[in-house]
Structure 1
Amino acid sequence: MESVGGRIADPNTGLSEVIAVGVMTPAYFGGEYGSHPGRDPERRGCPVRSIGIMGPAARFARFAGPVFTGLYAGSLLTLLVLELELRRFDGSVYTQVAQINLIGIPWLSGATLIPAMLCAALSVVVTIRRPGTAKWWALSALMLLLTVFVISSAINVQITAAEGRWTVAAPPADWAVQRDHWQVAHAIRTIAATVAFVCLNVLAVSGRRQTGKA
């Protein structure tokens, strides 16, 4: 390749095609989530992988996205089972368990949901201009995780904060109503997070298959 006025021209193509350095991505040259015909950086010695950072970032998102989303969805599912079991107890027991959950659950949720959203967003950036279905899996996962974030912030976090101020011996008169609201919102976000986990896994599997064919 030769540098021409801040751009790179590939004499091997036999064309007058000039590839701008600023828009080169490993996906264009056979990197993540697909390969571009006629581009083989290993065979032609093109140092594209050392030029861009999208290749390592995309590989990280492809691996870490399902991991963080799976951990988050798993914690939500576990908490959902616990909440359903608590329905047969009175307000004092429910309040006590809810306040115990405040010790670690919020930290676990923040440590897994935020990275999951970032990985999904990065996957969208990597795949958005690529042909095929990869971008739709990435967009679906991101939209679902954003939905989870909105539901959590608008409903679950607010009720959880209120539960932390309840008195175990004398919970508020409407404690069952607030519990039901929390549990319905939690069930919805659990389903959304689980579907997002499936989407990111499909995206990761398709990415590995495409990379193997490159």
Structure 2
Amino acid sequence: MTNPVPVKILRYTALLGSGMLAGVALTVLFLELALRDLNGPEYVRVRQAEYAPFTWFIGVLLVPTFVAVLLLTLRARSERTPELPLLAWAFGLILVALVVSLVVNGPINVEQTDWSVTSPPGDWASVRDRWQIAHAVRTVALVLAFGCLSAAALDRRPRPPRA
């Protein structure tokens, strides 16, 4: 992939997508900290209201970002570019965030859509805590991935000649 235009598009997609994902994750992290003061019914009402818009939005951001970072990492590996370590770390961190979402946060989100607003389950607070801890993990992963991608974009050292 030596054509600079597709590479630039992939870089912009990766950087913009990862930045937006990190920003949304940080926003939700602080929102969730504020929600800790709510009682069960109030908490369930907010979580059910935010589920639908956040789910599709995160999917729309995550898929092209993941693909762009994967393609950039594969390109860096095949061309032995100096950005490879940063891109590989970014890809791994985004993969961590994706796995945490699929294994912990997603199933809890689906479970919470069926909760009664007037009578949440008795363990609602422990489920909330599990969700929030997993979300904190994926937030850190996404912020670090954005940092790696930013550093890779800024690092424009001259490339050694290809062998």
| TM-score, normalised via structure 1 length | 0.71
Q: CA deviation at 1:55?
A: 2.9
The alignment partner of 2:155 has SS state of helix
What is the CA–CA distance in structure 2 between the aligned matches of 1:204 and 1:210, rounded to whole Å? 13
Letter of the aligned partner of 2:135 in structure 1? H
Partner of 2:17: 68
Q: CA deviation at 1:59?
A: 1.3
User: 2:26 matched to 1:97?
Assistant: no
Deviations 1:158-198 (A, max 9, x none): 00101100011100000001000000000000000000001
What is the CA–CA distance in structure 2 between the aligned matches of 1:161 and 1:196, rounded to whole Å? 26
Partner of 1:12: none
Partner of 1:191: 140
Moved >4 Å (runs of 4+):
none
**Unaligned regions of 5+ residues in structure 1, if any?**
1-24, 27-53
What is the CA–CA distance in structure 2 between the aligned matches of 1:186 and 1:170, rounded to whole Å? 25
Partner of 1:22: none
What is the CA–CA distance in structure 1 between the aligned matches of 2:136 and 2:122, rounded to whole Å? 23
Partner of 2:95: 146
Q: Which of 147, 168, 174 is residue 123 of structure 2 equivalent to?
A: 174
Partner of 2:149: 200
Partner of 2:62: 113
What is the CA–CA distance in structure 2 between the aligned matches of 1:82 and 1:107, rounded to whole Å? 19
Q: CA deviation at 1:121?
A: 0.6
Task: Give runs of aligned pairs for residues 40-59 of structure 1, distance below 5 A.
Answer: 54-59=3-8
User: Identical aligned pairs, as a percentage?
Assistant: 32
User: 2:121 matched to 1:160?
Assistant: no
Which structure has the highest helix share of the two? Answer: 2
What is the CA–CA distance in structure 1 between the aligned matches of 2:124 and 2:43, rounded to whole Å? 9
Letter of the aligned partner of 1:79 in structure 2? V
Which one has more relative contact order, counting CA pairs under 8 Å at least 6 apart? 2
Superposition CA RMSD, Å: 1.5
User: 2:137 matched to 1:137?
Assistant: no
Q: Tell me if the contact between 1:58 and 1:122 (Cα under 8 Å) persists in the aligned partners.
A: no
**Unaligned regions of 5+ residues in structure 2, if any?**
none
Letter of the aligned partner of 2:114 in structure 1? R
| TM-score, normalised via structure 2 length | 0.92
Q: Tell me if the contact between 1:58 and 1:126 (Cα under 8 Å) persists in the aligned partners.
A: no
